[in-house]
């Protein structure tokens, strides 16, 4: 757990904050569309973003449009593990029409799992996720299904595992890559990055942030490259609230 240190500097000009969404800012749920957002989260992120001079971004496997709809406003964000990103209102979008082979694979996946209750196919436009949280006894079937689809698509795509999910996405993607991209321009350039995540999909981001001299924070248990830990999304929201209210950076190490 993070221990506050009153001697840490209150000057926030040196920090850039990157936050995962599912399992980090909000609790993991059985169905991807059933996520519940705490009503205090959006104003909290707004206050903290102001304190950081705008150097706050969401870095998620969700599409940016999903994040906007749930949070009720547009923050800087990277969606679909970096396939799309938006900085200061300038969007580099996901274009599903650029992925015709993947579009065909989505239909094939849906047909393949149709008779297997609890296996969910989440179509994200430029990626597709196979979920088995509702059917843990079918985990190996789900993994094999995703692996076979990824192999059939060839080297332009890769498979990425998370908590009870396997996602097929373009090979040229990843949270570490997009965090590094954000750090190349204002207001992130020259700042020390902090990245908070909870899953296997965040480990590449932790590695990049660590290499850049930043601070990585893992939510929950499990082996990780992260420097620091917090127990739950509620713990993180409380920690961020104290920071936004004028406290020192809780992640300074």
Positions annotated as catalytic residues are 20
**Beta carbons of 142 and 132 less than 8 angstroms apart:** yes
> Rounded to whole angstroms, how far apart are CA atoms 74 and 87?
10
> Rounded to whole angstroms, how far apart are CA atoms 91 and 93?
6
> Rounded to whole angstroms, how far apart are CA atoms 118 and 138?
8
Nearest by Cα to 65 from 45, 86, 49, 48: 86
> Rounded to whole angstroms, how far apart are CA atoms 167 and 132?
12
- The DSSP secondary structure of 130-151, one letter per residue, reads EE-TT-GGGHHHHHHHHHHHHH
Nearest by Cα to 242 from 63, 62, 18, 2: 2
Nearest by Cα to 61 from 40, 89, 32: 32
> Rounded to whole angstroms, how far apart are CA atoms 9 and 30?
40
Peptide bond connecting 187 to the previous residue in cis, omega within 30 degrees of 0 = yes
The terminus-to-terminus CA distance of the chain in angstroms comes to 13
């Amino acid at each position: 757990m993070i221990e506050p240190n009153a001697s840490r500097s209150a000057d926030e000009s040196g920090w850039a904050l990157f936050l995962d969404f599912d399992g980090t800012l909000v609790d993991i749920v059985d169905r991807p569309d059933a996520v519940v957002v705490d009503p205090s989260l959006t104003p909290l992120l707004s206050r903290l973003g102001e304190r950081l001079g705008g150097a706050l971004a969401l870095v998620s496997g969700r599409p940016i449009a999903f994040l906007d709809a749930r949070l009720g406003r547009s923050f800087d964000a990277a969606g679909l593990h970096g396939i799309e990103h938006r900085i200061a209102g300038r969007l580099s979008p996901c274009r599903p029409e650029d992925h015709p082979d993947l579009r065909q694979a989505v239909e094939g996946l849906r047909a393949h799992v149709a008779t297997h209750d609890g296996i969910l196919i989440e179509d994200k436009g430029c990626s597709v996720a196979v979920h088995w949280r509702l059917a843990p006894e079918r985990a190996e079937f789900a993994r094999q299904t995703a692996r076979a689809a990824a192999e059939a698509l060839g080297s332009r795509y890769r498979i990425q595992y998370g908590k009870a999910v396997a996602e097929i996405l373009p090979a040229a993607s990843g949270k570490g890559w997009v965090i590094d991209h954000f750090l190349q321009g204002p207001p992130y350039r020259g700042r020390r990055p902090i990245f908070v995540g909870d899953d296997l999909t965040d480990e590449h981001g932790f590695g990049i942030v660590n290499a850049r001299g930043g601070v990585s924070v893992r939510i929950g248990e499990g082996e990780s490259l992260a420097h620091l830990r917090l127990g739950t999304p509620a713990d993180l929201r409380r920690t961020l609230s104290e920071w936004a209210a004028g406290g020192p950076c809780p992640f300074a190490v």
